[in-house]
Amino acid sequence: MGKAYDVMAATCPSRTVLHRIGARWTVFVVLALGDGPRRFTQLKTRIEGITPKVLTETLRALEADGLVRRTSLPGNPPGVEYALTDLGRSLGGPMRAVSEWAESHVPEILAARARYADAEA
């Protein structure tokens, strides 16, 4: 039997999953939570350039998809902790692979872009 889901199929639910994964800030949040639970402010600091609004939205979306668990800490001072679920942790591998690919191929890509810009001028 073939696989149950196929991203090439127009109406396959895996497309919605891929869409969530590909959202602008998802990768950063998943990576930032890779070493363990973090507070909202820690995430905001670590992920440079993210605004609180977008961070909230991203965390909510990941929580809705079961990738992140949000826990209120009733201690003093009260706080909120975000952690990856097992499901979220299982996405960490592929995400790390993609971000490491990005980090390690920057020079080639910048060079290609420069070449392309030249060629069309």
Please give the residue ranges that form the binding site for a copy of itself (CB under 8 A): 3-10, 13-14, 17-24, 27-28, 31-32, 46-49, 63-67, 87, 90-91, 93-95, 97-99, 101-106, 108-113, 115-117
Task: Give the Cα-Cα-Cα angle 111, 115, 110 (nearest 5 degrees).
Answer: 25
Which of 76, 117, 118, 119 touches DNA by CB under 7 A? 76
Residue indicated by tokens 């790390």: 96
CB of 102 to a copy of itself, least distance (A): 4
CB neighbours of residue 68 within 10 Å:
22
Interatomic CA distance for residues 45 and 86, integer angstroms: 24
Q: Return the one option of DNA, a copy of itself, none that residue 35 interacts with (CB less than 5 to 8 A, by type).
A: none
Q: 30, 88 in Cβ contact below 8 A?
A: yes
Binding site for DNA (CB under 7 A): 23-25, 39-42, 49-54, 56-58, 70, 76-80
